[in-house]
Amino acid sequence: MISTRTILRRMILGRLNLGRLNLRGLILRGLGPLAVIAPLLAVSACTQADDYTLPQKICGRAIEPAKLKPLLPSGSEFAEKHDSDSSSSVCEISVDKKPALYVKEFKNQEKFDVMDFATQRTGKFRDPEKIGIGEDAVVSDSALLLATTCTEKKNANQYILDIESVTGNGSDGQRKDLESFATAYLPTGFAAMGCTAKP
């Protein structure tokens, strides 16, 4: 059973203002612990709702909010940070000022074996498996990496999409969410990087 002290601590961490609530006094006046804790839990549950609105674009790339939402934690503030140049784009999505998702894109890269690359980096790619996005792609518990040919002014090179969920839970559902997001993101990211052939 969760103690009253633990619940109060969670209330504080959740930024709930309890004011000068005297739990001991309420209990002594005949209100049992459950009578006091139940309404607190109800209020706490409300504070866990998503108060932020997801945009139609992230870092200049159009994306359906429904594809992005499963990869983000609950919270009250959404923000993005975008750094890019002619051959790369790094997008950091944060919730309540904490990094939640990284979406990185690169072009002008040499061709490589994505699975070999992932299996040598087990800290990021845990138990990677092949998926059918682009020409070569893998998904793991909390990250997805794909490579596909980028044709630019008749010159072919490799376009790389690297997605990492900082708050990923490593479930099968999380992998499917990463794959769904990448499938929706790839065409718009591909075009934004100047690649003309379809990915």
Q: How many Å apart are CA 37 and CA 33, to the nearest integer?
A: 6
pLDDT in tens, 122-162: 889 999 999 999 999 999 999 999 999 999 877 889 999 99
Q: How many Å apart are CA 169 and CA 146, to the nearest integer?
A: 21
Q: How many Å apart are CA 23 and CA 41, to the nearest integer?
A: 14
pLDDT in tens, 171-199: 668 899 999 999 999 999 999 999 987 76
Residue 2: partners with Cβ closer than 8 Å, 6 or more residues away: none
Tokens 């009578």 sit on residue? 35
The rounded mean pLDDT for the chain is 79
| Buried-exposed string 162-175: b where 16+ CB fall within 10 A, e elsewhere | bbbbbbbeeeeebb
pLDDT in tens, 64-113: 999 999 999 999 999 999 999 989 999 999 999 999 999 999 999 999 99
pLDDT in tens, 5-14: 443 344 334 4
